[in-house]
Amino acid sequence: MASNRKVIITCAVTGAIHTPSMSPYLPVTADEIADAAIGAAEAGAAIVHLHARDPKDGRPSQDPELFRAFLPKIKAASDVVINLTTGGAPTMGVEERLQPALVLKPEVASLNMGSMNFGLYEMLGRYKEFKHDWEKPYLAESDDRIFRNTFRDIAYILESCSDNGTRFEIECYDIGHLYTAAHFFDRGLIKAPFFIQSVFGIRGGIGNHIEDVMQMKRTADRLFGDDYLWSVLGAGRGQIPIATVSAAIGGNVRVGLEDSLWDGPGNLAKSNADQVRRIRQVIEALSLEVATPADARQMLQLKGGDQVGF
């Protein structure tokens, strides 16, 4: 294992999975999201993956104006790579989900590679009291909700952003999603080097067993060879263990309050930066280097922070 290998840390700052009632540390307002992203960058994240929320009640939103409320502050304070969601929330249609990436032209945007059951309802067993009326139904009704990402939807997002110079964090929740990514690579809509984010532990997707992680890596290596960079996202308690495996076997990592509210058993993470610092310790203990934003731009061949629409 080369001691100078650099590992990209992505930090997913707020997301659409968790609700404000689940943690007092989940960023909701524009200032909270901006401060969380800047703090994560200072702790070692090369990329921050960002959703927006309605500041009145914390509901996920894809209104580009809510993104504009925090993006300039982050850009002014840090050279971190900004990655905007096209996933939004499973309750949204593709046109709504696309708007931030289409209008704001980020260096990176996330893109899910398939429709799937996206079960959040089990969280109701852990959280009983909610601040806002939308939260409990949002979780409860996920047992009858399909997160839609058809081939047409995926092509629409890729084609719509093709003139923006935006590259994609290709989110793969199961083995079949890797084959979908290969299909769009063959069609020329995904271009090398591309960034595969393998997602483990979401109900409806692949599990978080070590064999699941290794199968995902073997399949991606076979399909893509040297054309891609691999990263992992472990949901909940799988976050740090799965990230550790990825770093050890040649991959990159994603942490953040979108994916897990925790910083060790029974301890809520007080910030996204807490989780970045924790995985940074692991990476450096493996005698690896943490990639800077400049490193990430070079590795992923990004257009640069001066070429965005905000």
pLDDT in tens, the chain (310 residues): 445 899 999 999 999 999 999 999 999 999 999 999 999 999 999 999 999 999 999 999 999 999 999 999 999 999 999 999 999 999 999 999 999 999 999 999 999 999 999 999 999 999 989 999 999 999 999 999 999 999 999 999 999 999 999 999 999 999 999 999 999 999 999 999 999 999 999 999 999 999 999 999 999 999 999 999 999 999 999 999 999 999 999 999 999 999 999 998 889 999 999 999 999 999 999 999 999 999 999 999 999 999 999 9
Look at residue 1 and tell me if it is in a domain.
no
DSSP label at residue 268:
B
Range(s) of the domain holding residue 220: 6-307
DSSP label at residue 59:
-
Look at residue 72 and tell me if it is in a domain.
yes
What's the domain count of the chain? 1
CATH, residue 108 = 3.20.20.70
Query: Do the beta carbons of residue 203 and residue 119 sit within 8 Å?
Result: yes
- Segment (H or E) for 104: helix 94-104
Q: What is the dihedral of CA 117, 151, 159, 146, to 10 degrees?
A: -20
Report how far residue 244's alpha carbon sits from residue 248's, in angstroms, rounded to the nearest whole number: 6
pLDDT at 2: 47
Look at residue 147 and tell me if it is in a domain.
yes
Look at residue 239 and tell me if it is in a domain.
yes
Report how far residue 15's alpha carbon sits from residue 109's, in angstroms, rounded to the nearest whole number: 13
